[in-house]
Amino acid sequence: RKEVEQDPGPFNVPEGATVAFNCTYSNSASQSFFWYRQDCRKEPKLLMSVYSSGNEDGRFTAQLNRASQYISLLIRDSKLSDSATYLCVVIPPLVDYKLSFGAGTTVTVRA
Amino acid sequence: DARVTQTPRDKVTEMGQEVTMRCQPILGHNTVFWYRQTMMQGLELLAYFRNRAPLDDSGMPKDRFSAEMPDATLATLKIQPSEPRDSAVYFCASGLGRSETQYFGPGTRLLVL
């Protein structure tokens, strides 16, 4: 079983719609979780951290469900510029430098 | 706006040739990472340096890959000899302190024929 698994999508949504997707992780002792964003043919960039209490950054909301071992990302009022691949990232326990990346979920926002 | 730089941006070479990729981390960052990204495997960590010391290269094929940091402003990744299965995008990233805040370079797109 992979450390981090994501639905690859693509999620095709119209502008203004809400889109949400999850990511599951295998190591229940993982402590740190993040979402990175990668535009086509570009490098990954940190989008936001995911805290136990959940967190919100503008139109983006991230949640952590430790019991079911998944994290989620919700994008409200989608913009064309939100079209990208969203990478789920987990830091396993005891190896604080090693980011485990999911394969990514592709979101396409259409006009 | 400080950025990680990588050269070359694109490289096409023939099987058996040596490939050298270079990375300049953000000034002042003390951690450097090399990743490889393919459609099949996604992003894989190849090597990790902290304060120029290699701390983890377990993700790297040892027989043909090598990674070094000759000084704080330069990290290199070499493949010798290269093989078609090495075709991928190679990213360098740097950071300071906490590992999740890694700043990626634009990548080197390698095609081995």
Q: How confident is the model at residue B79 (pLDDT cuts 50, 70, 90)?
A: very high
pLDDT at position B100 is 65
pLDDT at position A87 is 96
> What mean pLDDT comes out for the span B39-52?
91
> What mean pLDDT comes out for the span B80-91?
97
Provide the Cα torsion A48, A54, A55, A58; round to 10°.
Answer: 100
- Decide if B43 and A34 are in contact by the 8 Å CB cutoff: no
pLDDT reading at A94 higher than 80 = no
How many whole angstroms separate alpha carbon B73 and alpha carbon B67? 14
Residue A97 has its nearest CB partner, among B99, B104, B106, at: B99
pLDDT at position B105 is 97
Residue B42 has its nearest CB partner, among A42, A49, A104, at: A104
Which residues of chain A from 34 to 93 reach within 8 Å of chain B, CB to CB? 34, 42-46, 49, 87, 89, 91
Mean pLDDT, chain A, rounded, equals 92
